[in-house]
Amino acid sequence: MDTPFPNDGTRHLDQQVHAALARATASLSPASAALALLDWSAHLASSPGRQIELAALALRHAEEFARYVRESGFAGALRPCKDLRR
């Protein structure tokens, strides 16, 4: 590839940065991730029913976690936490 500055080392710097970014993001483009988040948040912003469902789910999970912490603290031994993913 013919560039205006072929030997100034900037290409090597760019390659190093791109390689580090690829390792950190599992080769997923940060721009793609940002656009996916923007798309998801725009859909959620226009779905008040789904917002209520997610808020209720978050509240239920918080209650279950608080119960787990309370019971584990008084029992003295930690038991496995219930898997909340459904």
Q: What tens digit of pLDDT does each residue of 11-35 get?
A: 888 899 999 999 998 888 999 999 9
Q: What is the pTM of this model?
A: 0.56
Q: What pLDDT score was predicted for residue 12?
A: 87
| CA pair distance 31, 25, nearest whole angstrom | 11
| CA pair distance 14, 11, nearest whole angstrom | 5
The dihedral formed by the CA atoms of 54, 55, 57 and 62, expressed in degrees to the nearest 10? 140
The dihedral formed by the CA atoms of 56, 61, 62 and 65, expressed in degrees to the nearest 10? 160
| CA pair distance 75, 77, nearest whole angstrom | 6
